[in-house]
Amino acid sequence: MSISADSTTHESVAAENAVPEPTPEEAAQLEQLYQDFEAGNLIPLWTEIADLMPMVPSPKAVPYVWRWNDLYPLAARAGDLVPVGRGGERRAIALANPGLAGTPYATPTLWAAIQYLGAHETAPEHRHSQNAFRFVVEGEGVWTVVNGDPVAMRRGDFLLTPGWNFHGHHNDTDQPMAWIDGLDIPFVHYADAGFFEFGTERVTDEATPHVSRSERLWAHPGLRPLSGLQDTVNSPIAAYRWEHTDAALREQLLLEDEGHPATVSQGHAAVRYTNPTTGGDVMPTIRAEFHRLRAGASTEAVREVGSSVWQVFEGRGTVVLNGESKVLEKGDLFVVPSWQEWSLHAESEFDLFRFSDAPIFERLNFNRTYIEGRNK
Amino acid sequence: MSISADSTTHESVAAENAVPEPTPEEAAQLEQLYQDFEAGNLIPLWTEIADLMPMVPSPKAVPYVWRWNDLYPLAARAGDLVPVGRGGERRAIALANPGLAGTPYATPTLWAAIQYLGAHETAPEHRHSQNAFRFVVEGEGVWTVVNGDPVAMRRGDFLLTPGWNFHGHHNDTDQPMAWIDGLDIPFVHYADAGFFEFGTERVTDEATPHVSRSERLWAHPGLRPLSGLQDTVNSPIAAYRWEHTDAALREQLLLEDEGHPATVSQGHAAVRYTNPTTGGDVMPTIRAEFHRLRAGASTEAVREVGSSVWQVFEGRGTVVLNGESKVLEKGDLFVVPSWQEWSLHAESEFDLFRFSDAPIFERLNFNRTYIEGRNK
Amino acid sequence: MSISADSTTHESVAAENAVPEPTPEEAAQLEQLYQDFEAGNLIPLWTEIADLMPMVPSPKAVPYVWRWNDLYPLAARAGDLVPVGRGGERRAIALANPGLAGTPYATPTLWAAIQYLGAHETAPEHRHSQNAFRFVVEGEGVWTVVNGDPVAMRRGDFLLTPGWNFHGHHNDTDQPMAWIDGLDIPFVHYADAGFFEFGTERVTDEATPHVSRSERLWAHPGLRPLSGLQDTVNSPIAAYRWEHTDAALREQLLLEDEGHPATVSQGHAAVRYTNPTTGGDVMPTIRAEFHRLRAGASTEAVREVGSSVWQVFEGRGTVVLNGESKVLEKGDLFVVPSWQEWSLHAESEFDLFRFSDAPIFERLNFNRTYIEGRNK
Amino acid sequence: MSISADSTTHESVAAENAVPEPTPEEAAQLEQLYQDFEAGNLIPLWTEIADLMPMVPSPKAVPYVWRWNDLYPLAARAGDLVPVGRGGERRAIALANPGLAGTPYATPTLWAAIQYLGAHETAPEHRHSQNAFRFVVEGEGVWTVVNGDPVAMRRGDFLLTPGWNFHGHHNDTDQPMAWIDGLDIPFVHYADAGFFEFGTERVTDEATPHVSRSERLWAHPGLRPLSGLQDTVNSPIAAYRWEHTDAALREQLLLEDEGHPATVSQGHAAVRYTNPTTGGDVMPTIRAEFHRLRAGASTEAVREVGSSVWQVFEGRGTVVLNGESKVLEKGDLFVVPSWQEWSLHAESEFDLFRFSDAPIFERLNFNRTYIEGRNK
């Protein structure tokens, strides 16, 4: 679709079609009419349409970068000053998009926060409609217990806590650990769809196994247990381990070297985390992917309906957001609101985790993509 | 699920787990920390959780009733004072939920408006991502032209304008006509998913056939044209005619009289408008239904995730909204926000049109229902 | 795909690759080997491959035409001589494809029979896994009772008895009536998938309503009862009435006259009977369609994987089957085995009913179509 | 459903409802009628129904066991006497069910064969509609090249060659190798759905990598390449390796030991091979599974619609087929025709590979299961 040079907008069209000035009598009647609308809890379309129905998505959220070097020390200070436990539930500090007027939202749909758990601390169990995941950019030593299954958290792992699963976290070590939480809190709040329930104060299973039971049952490629033939809304895999992600990306680049189609584009390997019972996204509202660019590689400039949050896992590069270039290093996070143009450029080998609300838009048929320089 | 007597909330739990007062030094450090959060575009979860993640949906939108006897005269006054045409696009006046702070939204997701078109007026063609329908509670004489197909509008008809279809309206008579527009404007605005394009000033086909081409091709029960074997996201039927709706409801009540299962509950007939290519909802974000209660019949008190808007088509009855009873007559509209309890009671035979955002919640797995007095 | 001039076959290739004659000793060893295979219930591929895996489908079933003028009198004679009732169950006489060696099968998958019920006779109730339908080319006066719902049978109607539904028929008049039965008996027999159960001797409901309860609940275009929101494997509509089929076809040709896309090809209108809960075929193994050609119109010559049976409903024309032309008149039936080329040519307006096993091939991904003169 | 003591059959019912002997004149008329039926290529239902539509599936195929110790030496003798190459295509020797009258079919739908490839031999490339797989009970050294991707074959591996993929095999060693081929040849032959095309004489890629490109791209648990987001009818994984299958089964039994639900039943672990793009079966007509029983464990006696073929991979046990017990050892194969009762009993730890036609029956809604001693 064309988002090009056409400068026709509601405003320009209204200006061209300007109606004659009302007479004083008409103006008075009109004012009375608008007062009567207001008294009747009514609002006319014609005064609002330019804002309500713009020509292309015009988000209030803005592209923005948060630095890991800023985030982590603030989280550590919170670790010293703010207890974790029932009431506040989690020591999580949310990215608050500067365009979204004081809400703790990274984008209108997505929550992204750094969560910090001190040595031997426990975040108590609870459950909620909101879908959640964790991604670990550094550290280890915490187990998240999901519906009674203890799941070790280690660097590079992507871990699921789908809606309405009881979950808590406990740090089994003498060191603090911090990671990224991603949820659909803003969407669920907007849509008035959330339920919440408290669980136990301590996690229900304090064991510290290397792999979770969910992985032992489900994380075998292409194999499905006969005890699990019913498809599930959410992925039954609680943890997607770094060694698998890394291997998958490495193989894509090797296959590319050998002349076989495997990557998204030249020098750009990527995987999507999926629900093995359906092949689809891990949860109904959240898509998660991992991207690896070779040193020197770039992605095309693209616009998409829906928003996403990225975190650099390793390496150094830049993101160009609506024409503005930002250098990125390990742990840095940035958001891309709906229909804002982005592209990536790798200085070194460049590894990034991404999550987005794409499943919402695909399931409701609002998804569109525009790639600069292609006719589509 | 239980929404019952359990009074545990974030606030009550926080009170029980009250942490010791910070020392003055700690308090100062804490204040500095919060300032640094703000400077870094960060917001902690623990101060927000009660509002962000309530125990059950706690919508800002409120249950509310608008009277047709108020709406229609205001629309007619707008007909005298406000021209229809390019720029404002439509003479539509939206129900503005008193809980939603000055937005023209019936609920967080749904737009509902009365649209008024004077004798021989034309509303110019345009298209947009937003999905739209019309429902006609009285009158006739307007044709809505959807992708070039002229569709007559008559009392009781439900008419579709799915996203990205060009459409305009023209009144072919010497009388004004008013109807109800329903759209997902609030959702699309929230989600930054909307595109808009202007079309022709006059409708592209000024013919005034009794039935549309879409009906001639598609509105034959259980029959699908071989030229239309590809499933479509939206229903290909542009108009669901009153005579079919009325017959379907009448038969359900007759079958009930004859002792056969056919109704939703005793004395309560209902149909859902569907996409014949899938059997599912007519559009990805909007569900539409028609309900008929026998005189004296009632519905159970129910809570649902998601919101809906109802319009009385004929008859007299009451709706009980969160325990408050409201008498309803022809043309009256009311909204039910998420998780608010509603039930209907018919004084006479009572016909109501309903639309809701249920497909959004079902497709994203957030749908839940609670029926008072049932264990579920 | 190419089915063209390439004359490479297993036989031609084997001839080219002829291996040297075995020595007498080798020949003896080989003979012993084949004897040992046989003793061990083993058969080598290399001696069978040409027959087992031909280059294109090479059905044993042959294209064939049965004449209504032959069938009906034979059925009437059976009506005089053979009682209908428990044991034989139905007075049905099956089309036996001359290529299928004495089996009562129209094609390897499909059963097609004329069923005849004398004045005031009853065919007792039973149920079976096999999916069945009736199509009425002339007459009326019989009610088929499907799971207790009496369904009138009239000229042009298409009536369903999906697998495992109890059903019987009774003739409420002083006249005999005959119609066509279509089932997947050959497939179910081949696949060892059939179960059978006897029901009552007389039909469970002897009422003679003009329309069935299933139609009263379901045969309203685009409308779904709220009491029927669960999708069903088989269509819930027991009867697809001629007046709807006829109207749908008539409108397609009128739309074509008016310059709008509506027909399959020039002068060729067609509808598929569908399950309104899914938009798909009426039953999992059987597709049913109705075709109307204008006088003078033709269809393209086509080959399809899977077989079909056609019956002329009205008018006169020809079918060309693998290059051989046959004149067809009212009631005549013909079969098209897999991958045999067929085309239709209408002398007068030409109405034909068709059923096929296409859903089997589509669901198992074996469907292919080849249209003469198109590159595909 | 009940398959129990009810002895009502067509024959018993017909006997009860025996009609009076026809008079000689009637008998003559009847004989004439049957002759006229035959002349008209017609066959009545009432003389055939008992065979055509039995009360429960009554397969001609019989339960049967083939011994690996018999099969392998015969295959080796064929290796000496019969060349492999164009014309015969493959040195494959099929299990011919003794009930199926001289056809090379294990069951009506399934082909199972031992294929034998001598040192440094090549089976030339071809492709066909038939879906195929290989399962390796012993040996290694052959690469199967599927659409140009060389796939190593090793003990315990399950390897796919879905319909219409070019494929050939070559033995890169000085030793012969044999394995099991499974295909839907009988179904495709029955259904007249097969196409065949010759490819190159030698395999298109003679490389001998340890893992195939398909595995490098797809065999990472829960991860999907972004270059492969389109769902595919067949699994894109060419080889399911033994180490994964073994690990999955071992973990199920360990989880069972630890008190967690993981196995199908006590002591019975099992996995299904799946298509990671959908979570469903690897190919549209063939299901494949691997089962492990602890020493001493048994499975319930079960009947299923559809047929299956099993091969013992390791260990010793018995299968009870319709009440008859057979001892099984490594490599032995047995077939279970539709609705025949089977159960397994492990003497040692007992590993079995299974394939079946279940997807055909599930997709067409003919699947039923009966477990002895359960009410269902």
Contacts of A267 in chain D (CB under 8 A): none
Touch test B–D: 3 Cβ pairs or more under 8 Å: no
pLDDT tens column, B240-252: 999 999 999 999 9
The Cα A124–Cα B183 span in angstroms is 42
In this structure, the answer to whether residues D252 and D347 fall within a common structural domain is yes
- CA distances C323 to A169, C301, C310, D192, D226, Å, are 75, 10, 17, 20, 49
Contact D244 A220 (CB under 8 A): yes
Best to test chain B binding among C204, C230, C251, C258 (most B CBs inside 10 Å) = C251
CA distance A47 to B6: 46
> Chains near B, with 3+ CB pairs < 8 A?
A, C
Q: Is C339 part of the contact surface with chain D (CB cutoff 8 Å)?
A: yes
Judge whether C178 lies within some domain: yes
In a domain, C120, yes or no: yes
Judgement on whether residues A69 and A206 belong to the same structural domain of the protein? yes
**Is residue A376's pLDDT more than 90?**
no
B241, closest residue in chain C (CA to CA): C221
Distance from CA of D208 to the nearest CA of A (A): 15
Band (pLDDT 50/70/90 cuts) for residue A375 is low
Instruction: Give the integer Cα–Cα distance in Å for D357 and C227.
Output: 36
Question: Do residues C250 and C280 share a domain?
Answer: yes
Largest distance between two CA atoms of chain D? 80
Q: Are strands C92-95 and D64-66 parallel, antiparallel or unpaired?
A: unpaired
Q: Is residue D173 part of a domain?
A: yes
Question: How distant is the Cα of B150 from the closest Cα of chain A, in angstroms?
Answer: 24
**Residue of chain C whose alpha carbon sits nearest to that of D189:** C52
Whether the predicted pLDDT of A6 surpasses 80: no
Contact of B308 with chain C, judged by CB distance below 8 Å, is answered with no
Asked if B71 lies within 8 A of A42 by C-beta distance, the reply is yes
A31 interface with B at CB cutoff 8 Å: no
Q: What is the CATH number of the domain that holds B264?
A: 2.60.120.10
pLDDT of residue C1: 40
Asked if D148 and D265 sit in the same domain, the reply is no
Q: Is residue D131 part of a domain?
A: yes
Q: Is B322 left (phi over 0), alpha (psi -120 to 50) or beta?
A: left
Q: Is D40 within 8 Å of chain C by CB?
A: yes
From C8's Cα to the closest Cα of chain D, the distance in A is 8
The pLDDT value recorded for residue C376 is 45
The count of CB pairs under 8 A between chains A and D is: 145
Of D45, D89, D189, the CB nearest to C113: D45
Interface check for C43 against chain D (CB to CB < 8 A): the answer is: yes
Please check whether residue B130 touches A, CB under 8 A.
yes
SS3 per-residue string spanning chain A? CCCCCCCCCHHHHHHHCCCCCCCHHHHHHHHHHHHHHHHCCEEECCCCHHHHCCCCCCCCCCCEEECHHHHHHHHHHHHHHCCCCCCCCCCEEEECCHHHCCCCCCCCCCEEEEEEECCCCEEEEEEECCCEEEECCCCEEEEEEECCEEEEEECCCEEEECCCCCEEEEECCCCCEEEEEEECHHHHHHHCCCCEEECCCCCCCCCCCCCCHHHHHHCCCCEEEHHHCCCCCCCCCCEECHHHHHHHHHHHHHHHHCCCCCCCECCEEEEEEECCCCCCECCCCCEEEEEEECCCCECCCEEECCCEEEEEEECCEEEEECCEEEEECCCCEEEECCCCCEEEEECCCEEEEEEECHHHHHHCCCCCEEECCCCC
pLDDT tens, per residue, chain D with 376 residues? 445 456 789 988 888 887 778 899 999 999 999 999 999 999 999 999 999 999 999 999 999 999 999 999 999 999 999 999 998 999 999 999 999 989 999 999 999 999 999 999 999 999 999 999 999 999 999 999 999 999 999 999 999 999 999 999 999 999 999 999 999 999 999 999 999 999 999 999 999 999 999 999 999 999 999 999 999 999 999 999 999 999 999 999 999 999 999 999 999 999 999 999 999 999 999 999 999 999 999 999 999 999 999 999 999 999 999 999 999 999 999 999 999 999 999 999 999 999 999 999 999 999 999 998 775 4
Tell me the three state secondary structure of residue D111.
Answer: strand
Q: Does D196 touch chain C (CB under 8 A)?
A: yes
Q: Is A218 within a domain? A: yes
pLDDT tens by residue, A126-160? 999 999 999 999 999 999 999 999 999 999 999 99
D217 touches chain A (CB under 8 A): yes
Contact between B222 and C274 using a beta-carbon 8 Å cutoff: yes
**Residue of B46, B97, B108 with shortest CB distance to A89:** B46
Which residues share a beta bridge with A122? A170
Joined together, the tokens standing for residue B165 give 């279809």
**pLDDT of amino acid A372:** 84
User: In this complex, do C74 and D360 lie within 8 Å of one another by their Cβ atoms?
Assistant: no
Q: Is D18 on the interface with A (CB under 8 A)?
A: no
Contact A227/D252, CB-based, under 8 Å? yes
A41 contacts B96? CB cut-off 8 A: yes
Q: How many CB pairs under 8 A join A and B?
A: 288
Helix (H) or strand (E) holding D227: none
Task: Answer whether C190 touches D (CB < 8 Å).
Answer: yes
| B75 and B200 belong to one structural domain | yes
**In B, which residues are within 8 Å of C272 by CB distance?**
223-226, 229
- The residue in chain A having the minimum alpha-carbon distance to the alpha carbon of residue B304 is A193
Cβ within 8 Å of residue D31, ≥6 positions away? none
What is the distance in angstroms between the Cα of B4 and the nearest Cα belonging to chain A? 13
Touching subunits of C (3+ CB pairs, under 8 Å) are: B, D
Q: Which residues contact A239 (CB under 8 A, 6 or more apart)?
A: A151, A152, A153, A157, A158, A159, A160, A211, A212, A214, A215, A219
Query: What pLDDT, in 10s, does the model give residues C255-295?
Result: 999 999 999 999 999 999 999 999 999 999 999 999 999 99
* Interface size between C and D, measured as CB pairs under 8 A: 290
Pick D198's closest partner by Cβ from C8, C85, C185.
C8
Q: Please list the pLDDT of chain B residue by residue as tens digits (376 residues).
A: 445 456 789 988 888 887 778 899 999 999 999 999 999 999 999 999 999 999 999 999 999 999 999 999 999 999 999 999 998 999 999 999 999 989 999 999 999 999 999 999 999 999 999 999 999 999 999 999 999 999 999 999 999 999 999 999 999 999 999 999 999 999 999 999 999 999 999 999 999 999 999 999 999 999 999 999 999 999 999 999 999 999 999 999 999 999 999 999 999 999 999 999 999 999 999 999 999 999 999 999 999 999 999 999 999 999 999 999 999 999 999 999 999 999 999 999 999 999 999 999 999 999 999 998 775 4
Contact assignment for A13 to B86 by CB distance below 8 Å: yes
Q: What is the pLDDT of residues A59-75, one digit of tens each?
A: 999 999 999 999 999 99
Of A239, A267, A300, the domain-final residue: A239
- Tokens 């091939």 found at: C361
Q: Which of B46, B194, B337 sits opposite A54 (nearest CB)?
A: B194
Sheet of B268-273: strand order equals B64-66, B333-336, B308-314, B350-356, B287-293, B268-273, C223-225
Interface test with B, best of A364, A368, A369, A370 (most B CBs within 10 A): A364
Q: Please report, for residues A108, B145, B323, the alpha-carbon distance to residue B58 in angstroms, rounded to integers and kept in the order given.
A: 18, 40, 16
Select from B65, B309, B79 the least CA-distant residue to A46.
B79
The first and second tokens of residue A345, run together, are 């450029």
- C–A contact (≥3 CB pairs within 8 Å)? no
The whole domain housing C284 covers 240-371
Cross-chain residue pair C271–B217, CB shorter than 8 Å: no
**B chain contacts of residue C220, beta-carbon cutoff 8 Å:** 221, 244-245, 247-248, 271
Tens digit of pLDDT for each residue in A161-176? 999 999 999 999 999 9
pLDDT tens digits along A92-112: 999 999 999 899 999 999 999
| Distance (Å) of CA D363 to CA C283, C284, C361, C363, D281 | 11, 8, 11, 6, 11
Q: What angle do CA D7, D8, D13 make, to 5 degrees?
A: 140
Would you state the pLDDT for residue A1?
40
Residues B295 and B365 in one domain: yes
Measured between CB atoms, which of C17, C87, C360 is closest to D87?
Answer: C17
Q: Which of A133, A242, A251, A282 has the highest number of chain D CBs within 10 A, making it the mutation to test binding with D?
A: A251
Domain boundary among A176, A208, A239: A239
Same domain, B257 and B365: yes
Half-sphere exposure of A293 (CA within 13 A, CB side): 23
Residue B342 lies in a domain: yes
A108 touches chain B (CB under 8 A): yes
B251 and B227 in a common domain: no
Query: Is residue D73 located within the same domain as residue D148?
Result: yes
Residue C277 to residue B279, Cβ atoms within 8 A: yes
Residues of D numbered 133-152 whose beta carbons fall under 8 angstroms of chain C's beta carbons: which are they? none
- Whether B43 is in a domain gets the answer no
pLDDT digits (tens, 9 = 90+) for C298-338: 999 999 999 999 999 999 999 999 999 999 999 999 999 99
- Check whether residue C218 and residue C304 sit in a common domain: no
Considering the domain architecture, whether residues A209 and A153 belong to the same structural domain is answered as yes
Q: How confident is the model at residue A7 (pLDDT cuts 50, 70, 90)?
A: confident
B234 and B90 together in one domain: yes
Domain boundary among B211, B239, B267: B239
Least CB-CB distance to C225: which of B213, B252, B277?
A: B252
In a domain, A293, yes or no: yes
pLDDT of residue C375: 53
- pLDDT per residue over B35-93, tens digit each? 999 999 999 999 999 999 999 999 999 999 999 999 999 999 999 999 999 989 999 99
| Lowest-confidence segment of A216-220, A329-333, D84-88, D138-142 by average pLDDT | D84-88
- The pLDDT profile of chain C, 376 residues, written as one tens digit per residue, is 445 457 789 988 888 887 778 899 999 999 999 999 999 999 999 999 999 999 999 999 999 999 999 999 999 999 999 999 998 999 999 999 999 989 999 999 999 999 999 999 999 999 999 999 999 999 999 999 999 999 999 999 999 999 999 999 999 999 999 999 999 999 999 999 999 999 999 999 999 999 999 999 999 999 999 999 999 999 999 999 999 999 999 999 999 999 999 999 999 999 999 999 999 999 999 999 999 999 999 999 999 999 999 999 999 999 999 999 999 999 999 999 999 999 999 999 999 999 999 999 999 999 999 998 775 4
Domain count along chain A: 2
Nearest CA in chain C to B273: C223
